[in-house]
Chains A and B, each alone.
Chain A
Amino acid sequence: MIVELGHFALVLAFALALVQSVLPLVGALREDRPLMAVAAPVSVGLFLLVGLSFLGLTAAYLTSDFSVLNVYANSHSAKPLIYKISGVWGNHEGSVLLWVLILVFFGALVGLFGSTIPAPLKAATLSVQAWVTTGFLAFLLFTSNPFERIPSPPLEGQGLNPILQDIGLAIHPPLLYVGYVGLSITFSFAVAALLLGRIDAAWARWVRPWTLLAWVFLTLGIAMGSYWAYYELGWGGWWFWDPVENASLMPWLVGTALLHSAIVMEKREGLKVWTILLAIFAFSLSLLGTFLVRSGVLTSVHAFATDPARGVFILGLLVLFIGGSLTLYAWRAPMLKQGGLFAPISREGALVLNNLFLSAAAAAVFIGTLYPLALDVVTGEKISVGAPFFNLTFGPLMVPLLLAVPFGPVLAWKRGDLLAACQRLYAAFGLAVVAILFCYWLWGGKAALAPLGVGLAVWLMVGAVAELITRVRLFDVGLKRGVARLVGLPGSAWGTAIAHFGVGMTVLGIVTASAFQDERILTMRPGETVELSGYDVTFDGVAPRRGPNFQEDVGLFTLRKDGAVVDRLEPSKRIYEASRMPTTEAGIHTAGFSQLYLSLGEARGDGGVDVRVYFKPLVTLIWIGCVVMSFGGLVSIFDRRLRVGAPTAARSRSKSRSALPAAAE
């Protein structure tokens, strides 16, 4: 019953999405207020209906209702509760439903909290959002119905892919989807602005918090996915340049560019046409990512059971939305008025540089990801483009960008003074040089480039701090007043500094973990010890153990440092009962920011086992840096100036208060 209710809610949502697609837009074009006012309540209704539908599917999973095909194919009654819940989106249909849920969630957020946005823009934006929603609801209903029943229900389900039976599944997809799909609202804003033909600095002010919100989640989602792959897949790497990873990296790169170009638009009315284009591209790449992952074009951990009809349907949606928005852009963008010009050495100039490198990097990833597919289609030749390609293209494009990062915030708008900027960064430059020399002294010629990498990381981190300190003249005005000024800085200044600091942390983690990783691959027999980066790892034997829905062989390892036991690691090989599928669980010991990573291979007949041990110095900084970046984004969202909508509001509070209800209608 509840399953039918969920299905019915989805059908109703489809009808409502059609209404929202048309009426508010017509209202916006005709300046018809009652029609525009339809948008907000309908967007909330849409969210409630899709939410109900999602709850319906969740209920089917919780009660292990195997008469539902989707539950039967992806669940098992013995599965722990948390995986019954996360299993809802651990399959094709459920994940698309989650996609749509987030799509309408963002629509509802704009409907409810977008009270400062002018009514026509808000109505048109929600209409465009509803176009996307309609497309994906149709995709769900016509090709990927999660509520399909089986006439004669089986007693037990087939179980969830064991790789997905991990807390990571509960966290990674929702975070990533909020990021991915969150970019839809920026897209809708951009298309709405093109339709209405009015784009000004205020547009950027309204759009930036939404972009930031999506970006924060996208960053967290990618970092979480990276850490999950690191500990679950047992290969010990944190990034594989897998096409599916690239599919999430591309919108992130363009989204990051968008975030920065929107600042120029907001503050200086510049880069309008470019910002709109980035907004379209960011979501287009999200759609492309969805297509790549869900259509079965790529074979990967993310490709669930595939069906050609779905691929064609998503491809159709892709062509419609990307082609449509770009055509609209080509037609309307030339009518936009150009913004103010600026000198090459200026804040705008630095942000343009940021955009250039990020876009070029995104293009490199795009070509590396799609070239093998294109070549296969055209010539039938099978090639693979792996890490070497991306290291050679993405790497060199990132280095100048990262070198330039600390300059951005210290340069003045319109016309910057490079000398003054350098003066504010003396300390950062000095410390970076000291770090480089120290590393050469410490490591000798072991890895020639690594000290430079460490220097770059120090430059980024200290540069971010230096910007704040020199901005409030902490050392000139005295500590007390300086701190008071620091506290009083706008959220966006803090957000920038924190996010840039996070970039430095991630760079440091990447450099040290790749240059100084210590690795041993060997066959160990009980009692044997291997020495690695100052740790003695002793293999004590293998013991069988039972989990809730799996059996495992656990390798028992004792970790000693200078003779004292510091940890016991228990990497294992699991066999899941439902699918008889084996998985590997790594054993990880964290010391400070570094990790010792132990992965188990096949057991030998004589009690020996193949073992792979890594020591990865400062590896956790890679992900902690991403978390810090996201936190910076979050701080920026709560900047007072972004929350108060219209530019006039800051000048006169009473005026803005009286203006708010009018705009909200």
Chain B
Amino acid sequence: MTRTDAKTMTRKQKRLTLIGAAGVVLAAAAGLILFALNDQIVFFQTPTDIVQKGIPHGQRIRLGGLVEEGSLRRSDDARVDFVVTDTTSTIAVTYQGILPDLFREGQGVVAEGVVGPDGVFVADNVLAKHDENYVPKEVAEALKDKGVWQGQN
């Protein structure tokens, strides 16, 4: 069946099929990308942003700032609670899991998750520095804006 179809196809038809297929795949890809960009990107926010803007519950965000000194509490089942501050506002964070090696009080941190109905940020992923020279970039810039940045560069 396909054999006779192919035989009777003219050059033009062959070319059109090819272009048509390419168009369909590319349109599908473009659609997927646009949909995902609308839906799946995560905005970076500081505690002040959250307090001022009022992020809707359930929306994923990346929260960045410094871990407030003396705020770290550990409980069983590997649960940790700490407070993230940008020196103007603070927000409480709860997380179950293993904290990164370089997670320290007073140091920069980025937590990914959602703000719960009680205003506590429920993180499912916590990132800290990879090495001594590295502070999450967003955190560094947000802190620089506030004039409390003390690191190099």
Contact = CB atoms under 8 A, between A and B. Distances in A.
A375 to B, nearest CB: 9
Given A299-B137, A601-B78, A601-B98, A367 B37 contact: yes
Interface in A501-516: none
Which of B21, B32, B77 is the most central at the interface, judged by chain A CB atoms within 10 Å of its CB? B32
Interface in B1-55: 1-3, 5-7, 9, 11, 14-15, 17-18, 21-22, 25-26, 28-29, 32-33, 35-37, 39-44
Nearest to B17: A344
Interface string A597-631: 00111101000001110000000000000000000
Contacts of A300: 130
Contact of A364 (B9, B18, B33, B131): B33
Contact of A383 (B44, B98, B99, B130): B44
A582 B107 CA distance: 15
A582 B43 CA distance: 30
Given A345-B6, A415-B3, A612-B78, A389 B136 contact: no
Interface stretch (A10-18, A113-121, A350-358): A350-358
Given A384-B44, A384-B62, A612-B98, A163 B25 contact: no
B118 interface: no
Interface stretch (A31-39, A250-258, A391-399): A391-399
A328 to B, nearest CB: 24
A382 B33 contact: no
B6 A343 contact: yes
Given A300-B130, A343-B14, A383 B42 contact: yes
A397 B18 CA distance: 18
A579 B134 CA distance: 14
A523 B96 CA distance: 10
A357 B32 contact: no
Interface string B59-90: 00010000000000010111000000000000
Interface in B132-147: 132-134, 136-138, 141
A299 B136 contact: yes
A126 to B, nearest CB: 35
Interface string B100-140: 01100000000010000000000000000011111011100
Contacts of B98: 234, 521, 584, 599-602, 610, 612
Contacts of B9: 343
Contacts of B56: none
Contact of B138 (A161, A353, A382): A382
Contacts, number: 150
A305 B133 contact: yes
A413 to B, nearest CB: 12
Interface in A84-140: none
Interface of B: 1-3, 5-7, 9, 11, 14-15, 17-18, 21-22, 25-26, 28-29, 32-33, 35-37, 39-44, 62, 74, 76-78, 96-99, 101-102, 112, 130-134, 136-138, 141
For the complex of A and B, the 5 pairs showing the least CB-CB separation, nearest first, are A343-B6, A382-B44, A360-B29, A601-B98, A610-B78
9 contacts: A161-B131, A300-B130, A303-B134, A343-B2, A343-B6, A383-B44, A389-B36, A393-B33, A602-B98
